Structure 1
Amino acid sequence: MTDRISLTGLRAHGRHGVFDFEREQGQDFVVDVVLDVDLRPAAASDDVGDTVHYGELAERLVAVVTGEPVNLIETLAERLVAVCLSDVRVSSATVTVHKPQAPIPHDFADVAVTLTRTRQAVA
């Protein structure tokens, strides 16, 4: 299947990290999601109920980012990919978590972790 829904640049303030100041002050995280979904039913019906509602997905993802803190963005990404795969229509999901304000004492553009999970691998 080559049908995909992409949601990129979703920004939310979270308190994830291994350092106390990251937990206290928090920082912005940016999330990109690509879902493999059969979009033929939605295209045929023209009904949002036949697809993954990306507005509702965004709300659920932001709730995870702004929710319970974790040490690693790897853990955060795993939680986010689980949200994506909770919709049975999603056959696989790729989630990238960007941490552009990571505590690195050098100039850098971005730190990111990307996970890809399939429904079969999770089942």
Structure 2
Amino acid sequence: MTDSVLIEQLAVEAIIGVFDWEREVHQRLLLDLEMAWANDRPAATDDLALALDYAAVCEAVTEWFHHHQPQLLETAAEAVAAELMQRFGIRWLAVTIRKPGVLPRAGSVGIRIERGQR
């Protein structure tokens, strides 16, 4: 299967980081999600129930950051990937997390992981 569902630049507020000041403030993160999903069935039937619910995915990610305060982007990416795969039955996904404004000469820093089987 080569179909994907994309959610790009999902903004979440999070307490994340290793420095003392980072543990006291919310920082804006931007997430890109690419999730393998068989889009042929919802396309053929025009049935929303067969499609991956974008809003529910966004809510699950936002909720995860509301309840967790990891130090590392790597930890957040692994946990978000596991949560989405388990909750929605996603077999493969790529998660990119960017932290804007951290370094003066860079627009953002971040990581990207892929988990599961395409």
TM-score normalised according to structure 2 size: 0.91
Task: Specify the alignment match of 1:101 in structure 2.
Answer: 101
Distance 1:101 1:14 in 2: 14
Q: Once the two structures are superposed, what CA deviation does each residue of 1:49-107 show, in whole Å capped at 9, x if it has no partner? A: 1121001110001111232101100000111111221222x2200000101133x4x42
Structure 1 gaps, min length 5: none
Percent identity (aligned):
26
Runs of 4+ with >4 A deviation: none
TM-score normalised according to structure 1 size: 0.88
Question: Does the CA contact (< 8 Å) of 2:29 and 2:98 recur in 1?
Answer: yes
The amino acid that maps onto 1:93 is L
Task: Specify the alignment match of 2:16 in structure 1.
Answer: 16
CA RMSD, 1 decimal: 1.5
1:75 equivalenced with 2:84 (yes/no): no
Distance 2:91 2:35 in 1: 8
Task: Specify the alignment match of 1:49 in structure 2.
Answer: 49
Structure 2 gaps, min length 5: none
1:24-35 mapped onto 2 (5 Å cutoff) = 24-35=24-35
